[in-house]
Chain A
């Protein structure tokens, strides 16, 4: 039997109190780990989404640029229309490296998700789309046979969920048309995995929006030239130019300010947990006044008692740290679910990124907290004089 076991045995004798205190520490650690993990994950997911999109600049009809950017990022339809002429007008701009027109449309399919119903995204594209997307590749099949063909290419998930393969037929709800699947894209881990791609002209015809686009995706030869490019497009009153790096920066800024708010909540949780730990240990020190006196009388030194009480604090904090990390890893999925519901735009991929580094730092943090919060109770216990303590017990 050594000090550690002695400390452990004492905690064990007040099981519910020890567990509640450990629970308090665990919650604080879980909140901290989940928040930091979420922040890192969101940042990474957003950056990867923006990079995978392939567009440095998008041109849309005038409106809120951030709404437009997030709609395009999430592959959603609902953007206002712009004239296809604008595309023809700017396509020869000297700074443009690659450019592609986009037309997103939405249709409600009551049969989707096994009869539950849901929206399907249709994206009208031209061949230049593939040139702009760095990681769009065919899993099977290939490109449309003609600009106006009644054909479709499915995103990876769209094909999976509908159990379709090349050669199968699909129809668009409420439209009198049947499309033949000519290709299926590989997984890109973006929102477009769930989309159905049609030739641009077919989309315009089927949805009865001839000569309209919802956006133009552009890659510039040099991204530094973006302001000059923007200036040249300024005379076209009905459109706006959106730089994706700016959008990314703005979203990250917003997330960061939210993070500061949430972090302060997390720190309050930690502060409350520390007070809980100090309270528990101090209470048990006062309850054990006589016992500590006895230990001193039979030879325990100041430092022995200090060590003993300190170790109890450390055990509580260490166990709290372990449980908290476990809660964060498993409970983090719940938070992710919640965040996806509440956030106006959540990037694809895992939002919660709990790295070993993060766990190690949080763990070290909680140990330091344990060391600090154990100081006062341990000092208090160590300062008790055996003679007074034994007498007070009589």
Chain B
């Protein structure tokens, strides 16, 4: 049985425009196992977002090998990539990116529509309850606070019961209390369901609440720390 969720081998990503070439990732080797809670840390421009986009099948590497859940995304067409995204991967963004004309419940239902999963009617409701928003089901994004918006986004990311949850600076627009709560939620989801979580963050304190911290700088992996928890969290 495969143990890894993500396995990258000499992963490289170059963004090229007519005027310049930016090397965002320079030969990264990394393996993320099932059930790991990993944070990716590093300064701006270190390649954190690029790395998440690659393992989230939102983008393709320039070279190197990538294995996500046993699939090689470089060999897939767009239609198949979106299939993987909707069924196996949950995404949480810094700017929440909720759909403004849909209420909280409908936002969480959206991935089910894209997955043609019309039967699982109660799951969106249960997920919102799980993130503590059962009293906000019919509220629209402009009626919710930042912390609530991000929790709706987490519920949406979990709608299709993904194997991996990717979050790109999810606390960037949250105050410290809400940021801490979000990380607690990640922690709990990881513990309860063995959900694999990869979070890119600037926040050192929160970053070190994970099991493993990968430090990126200038497109290279600087350090890969596995943390031993003493407080049981």
Contact = CB atoms under 8 A, between A and B. Distances in A.
A297 B99 contact: no
A294 B111 CA distance: 11
Contact of B82 (A13, A301, A393, A394): A301
Interface stretch (A2-10, A99-107, A202-210, A223-231): A2-10
Contacts of B82: 296, 299-302, 304
Contacts, number: 74
B52 to A, nearest CB: 11
Nearest to A14: B101
Nearest to B100: A291
A10 B83 CA distance: 24
Q: Which 6 A-B pairs have the closest CB atoms?
A: A299-B86, A301-B82, A294-B97, A13-B101, A299-B114, A299-B85
A300 B53 contact: no
Interface of chain A: mostly helix, strand, loop or mixed: helix
B110 interface: yes
B79 A298 contact: no
Contacts of A9: 101-102, 106
B28 interface: no
B109 A295 contact: no
Interface string A353-394: 000000000000000000000000000000000110010011
B87 A299 contact: yes
Interface string B90-121: 01010101011110001001110111001000
Given A291-B99, A294-B99, A297-B91, A387 B59 contact: yes
Interface in B63-92: 78-79, 82-83, 85-87, 89, 91
Contacts of A386: 58
Nearest to A303: B79
A298 B108 CA distance: 10
A342 interface: no
Given A295-B110, A298-B110, A390 B79 contact: no
Contacts of B100: 291
Nearest to B58: A387
A302 to B, nearest CB: 6
A296 B58 CA distance: 9
21 contacts: A6-B102, A6-B110, A10-B101, A13-B101, A294-B99, A297-B85, A297-B93, A297-B97, A298-B85, A298-B114, A299-B85, A299-B111, A299-B115, A299-B160, A301-B78, A301-B83, A302-B82, A304-B114, A386-B58, A387-B58, A387-B59
Contacts of B213: none
B102 A387 contact: no
